[in-house]
Amino acid sequence: QGTRDHPPAQAALRDRLLSAVVACFKRHGAAAIDTPVLELRDTLIGKYGEGTKLIYELQDQGGELLALRYDLTVPFARYLAMNKITNMKRYHVGKVYRRDNPATTRGRYREFYQCDFDIAGQFDPMIPDAECLKIVHEILSDLQLGDFLIKVNHRQILNGVFAVCGVPESKFISACSTVDKLDKVPWEEVRSEMVGEKGLSPEAADRIGDYVQLHGGLDLIERLLQDPKLSQNKLAKEGLGDMKLLFEYLTLFGITGKISFDLSLARGLDYYTGVIFEAVLLQQEKEHGEEAVSVGSVAGGGRYDGLVGMFDPKGRKVPCVGVSIGIERIFSILEQRLEASEEKIRTTETQVLVASAQKKLLEERLKLISELWDAGIKAEMLYKKNPKLLNQLQYCEDTGIPLVAIVGEQELKDGVVKLRIVATREEVSVRRESLVEEIRIRTSQC
């Protein structure tokens, strides 16, 4: 339950999607790394706040206590610390595991892929952060998922807001997780949780409410920099300074049209320390019979300058910023679209079927297909001694093979092969020594 097989059509769609994401990561100069699915239990415990209880633990069958990784960020931080790496731009595509209640229609599973890009190292402020946002923008544009918005905030601005509203520092993280619910429930509910469960004064909650319901662009940053209270707070001032610089860079990248500085964005995980962001798809129009489904956030990330230090014996910090693409949610949208469009996705890449019209030509088919394979041509044949031509042509129709190479008695005598173009039913006679080249030319256009 909450895990699934991917049959060929899904696997092919997923491959396309992952290729597009990885192409973007490579475009930005990232190297791949791979870490084990199994981590030491102690590496994972205490890094995910509420999430910790969703970690899959392995049976104690002797040896170390192991668990399945919950995300790719903590293993990356562990990897950097273990190998004393202070500077790296990497991507990682891999499966992660959560003992969550699966909501499979919304693309939430217990076993799912994550696609992460992270930049580790001490650099001039906001340049890597801006690149992460550029990457989200590129990927969501490339995949043509429809309109989207990238919400951006800064943990220090949030902490500054809490401070000037009279929240004691010990309650910052707890207040943060309450604010995080603002994208799902109205302010009234968030307020009552703050006052009820979290024990803030009604006045503090109201003051917080005035701030966290704000969103805008560079104008809002400027306004808050002039705010009589926030401008006196060191945390908020630093955060707003970062945010201003970030927006300058995003302007140079030409992507501010899809970016919103949104003070209600808090992000659940404890380890963020600076810029945080989350991309959401905007409600789609119902058109072409396509059903609009809210799939929530499709990418998220932020800066986590303290995590690597937690794994270093001397606590040496390596500043990091990264982004995780919500591939499963994107996949469920694309899958739904594919179903609606009735477009058939090819699950194989076979260029040519080696066939025969007459009986007793299995040997000749085997010889020809072997030549084609050795020349790098993607070729198939039916595993029958004497298949009917009709069945062979039908197989091409069913699986989308564009060409058929037909061997027959006469062709063998003449040293040729009949090449049939499935789509047009055209047949041409090709000299055997030119066949490979002819197949290459005819399939390079598809």
Which of the residues 373 through 402 are near its own copies (CB under 8 A)?
Answer: 373-374, 376-380, 383-385, 399
What is the CA angle 311-315-320, rounded to 5?
A: 70
Side chain identity at 342, as an amino acid letter? E
Helix axes 127-142, 8-27, angle to 10 degrees: 150
Considering only residues 220 to 259 of the shown chain, the ones binding its own copies according to CB under 8 A are 249, 252-254
Q: CB-wise, 38 or 103, nearer to its own copies?
A: 38
Minimum CB separation from its own copies for residue 25, in Å?
10
18 belongs to the binding site for its own copies (CB under 8 A): no
From the CB of 357, what's the least distance to its own copies, in Å?
18
Q: Which of 325, 127, 152 is nearest to 240 (CA)?
A: 152
Residue 214: count other Cβ atoms within 10 Å of its Cβ: 14
CA distance 22 to 30: 9
CB of 57 to its own copies, least distance (A): 5
Question: Cα Rg for the chain, rounded, in angstroms?
Answer: 28
Q: Is residue 283 close enough to count as binding its own copies by CB under 8 A? A: no
Task: Tell me the window of 59-67, 152-160, 230-238, 419-427 that interacts with its own copies (CB under 8 A).
Answer: 59-67
Selected range binding its own copies among 89-97, 206-214, 298-306, 330-338, rule: CB under 8 A: 89-97
CB of 181 to its own copies, least distance (A): 27
User: Taking contact as CB under 8 A, which single stretch among the options 78-86, 153-161, 162-170, 302-310 is the one that binds its own copies?
Assistant: 78-86
Nearest approach in angstroms of CB 284 to its own copies is 24
Rule CB under 8 A: say whether 343 interacts with its own copies. Answer: no
Our CB check for its own copies shows the closer of 362 and 412 to be 362
Tokens at 427, concatenated: 């047949």
Structural contact between residues 133 and 140, judged by C-beta atoms closer than 8 angstroms = no
Please report, as a single letter, which amino acid is at residue 62: G
Angle at alpha carbon of residue 106, lines to 104 and 111, rounded to 5°? 45
- The owner of tokens 């088919």 is 365
Taking the C-alpha atoms of residue 413 and residue 392, their distance in angstroms, rounded to an integer, is: 23
Closest to its own copies by CB, 90 vs 151, is: 90
Question: Residues comprising the binding site for L-histidine?
Answer: 71-73, 98, 114, 118, 267, 271-272
Q: Give the one residue of 45, 58, 292, 421 binding its own copies; rule: CB under 8 A.
A: 58
CB–CB of 418/427 below 8 Å? yes
Contact flag: residue 63 with its own copies (CB under 8 A): yes
